[in-house]
A and B are shown apart, each in its own frame.
Chain A
Amino acid sequence: SYELTQPPSVSVSPGQTARITCSGDALPKKYAYWYQQKSGQAPVLVIYEDSKRPSGIPERFSGSSSGTMATLTISGAQVEDEADYYCYSTDSSGNWVFGGGTKLTVL
């Protein structure tokens, strides 16, 4: 079955740039989506179609994709950005999958 691989954790100091990667064999042909989930809350979409930012999402959130890796970048991470982040994409057969999630610590 198709898998998306993320690092379990990323840690940065406030104001630094956080990068969270997501690798998957189908990413060269399929878009990646990124969700932020804070404790006890439903996920929030922060990036769609590799690099587009929904309205209301701060400009410090950006996305990119190259080859089999998609990357979520938080430029100037803030304490309130501490959360779990999940990438989401599909394989060629109509099945969707989440990455295992990355816990971002900002301190």
Chain B
Amino acid sequence: EVQLVESGGGLVQPGRSLRLSCTASGFTFGDYAMSWVRQAPGKGLEWVGFIRSKAYGGTTEYAASVKGRFTISRDDSKSIAYLQMNSLKTEDTAVYYCLTGFDYWGQGTLVTVSS
């Protein structure tokens, strides 16, 4: 059974950094791209970015709203994807989901950016 578990969320001040983790199980992690999607309170879904598998270069793509501040990486030996978030803004407050393919999502982790 495919499982994705996000962790690392919490309350952080504007301008600070936070790293989220997505621990995967139930599939060959290294063979798949991993994506991050967020949802601000009461708002719609927003694509954050993704990292390709090593077979496709392990390259990344980001939404314009986070480009230059967020970095996605992966550790295939541990089956973990990361979302490093720097220079956080209040508008980054959201539930952050990781997903693989289109059909497997984690339950999300809440990030609150507030002073």
User: A residues within 8 Å of B by Cβ?
Assistant: 1, 33, 35, 37, 42-43, 45, 48, 54, 84, 86, 88, 94-101
Contacts and interface: CB of A to CB of B under 8 A. Distances in A.
Given A33-B102, A42-B105, A43-B105, A100 B44 contact: yes
Interface string B64-107: 10000000000000000000000000000000010000110111
A100 B107 CA distance: 21
B47 interface: yes
B61 A94 contact: yes
Given A42-B107, A94-B61, A95-B63, A101 B44 contact: yes
Given A1-B64, A94-B61, A95-B63, A45 B103 contact: yes
The interface size bin for chain B is 10 to 19
B96 to A, nearest CB: 11
Interface of B: 35, 37, 44-47, 50, 61, 63-64, 97, 102-103, 105-108
Interface majority SS (helix, strand, loop, mixed), chain A: strand
Residue with the highest number of chain A CB atoms closer than 10 Å, among B45, B105, B107, B108: B45
Nearest to A49: B102
A101 B45 contact: yes
A33 B45 CA distance: 13
Given A95-B47, A98-B46, A101-B45, A48 B102 contact: yes
